[in-house]
Structure 1
Amino acid sequence: MEKKLYRSNTNKMLCGVCGGIGEYFNIDPTIVRLIWAIFICSGPGILAYFIAALIIPLDEG
């Protein structure tokens, strides 16, 4: 079965992007959120998050 990246329905804070990335790579989404906040969450990082929220489909399952 092919693995696909989706935004998480169950593990989300804003749009489910970090939860979906955590589920895809099988790591704790809190770690993904911390990395996002520390290294990426500047002006362009915030924009990248919301672009990812628009591009990555929501998990329907």
Structure 2
Amino acid sequence: MSKKLARSTDDAWIAGVCGGIAAYTGSNPNLIRLLAAVLTILGFGSVVIVYVLLWVLMPKQQPPGVQTITHQPPAA
């Protein structure tokens, strides 16, 4: 099973972006949140823009055991 970058549904404070990044990298989500907050406070306002972009672009994590069903047209 391949690892996919997705927003966390069970470790989310705002949108699950930091939790998803932490799950993907195997790091502590609070460390990712702290890093994002510090960079934002130090004047790197682009962190907020990147966060919002990731919020929009990253898919939401599927709960364990749930599979996405896609419609396939009948064979001719």
Q: Same fold (TM over 0.5)?
A: yes
Q: Superposition RMSD on alpha carbons, in Å?
A: 0.9
Report the 3-state secondary structure (helix = DSSP H, G, I; strand = E; otherwise coil) of the residue aligned with 1:59: coil
Distance 1:44 1:31 in 2: 19
- Alignment correspondent of 1:30: 30
1:52 is matched with: 54
Structure 1: runs of 5 or more not aligned: none
Q: Which has the larger radius of gyration?
A: 2
How many Å separate the matches in 1 of 2:58 and 2:38? 22
TM-score for the superposition, normalised by structure 1: 0.90
1:11-50 CA-to-partner distances (Å, cap 9, x unmatched) read 00100000000111111100000111112x2321111100
Quote the residue 2:21 is aligned against: 21
Normalized per residue, the structure richer in helix is 1
Letter in structure 2 aligned against 1:30: N
Q: Could you tell me how far apart the structure 2 residues matched to 1:13 and 1:38 are?
A: 16
Could you list the runs of 4 or more consecutive aligned residues of structure 1 that deviate by over 6 angstroms after TM superposition? none
For 1:17, the aligned partner's letter is V
Q: Which runs of 5+ in 2 are unaligned?
A: 64-76
Task: Number of aligned residue pairs: give it.
Answer: 60
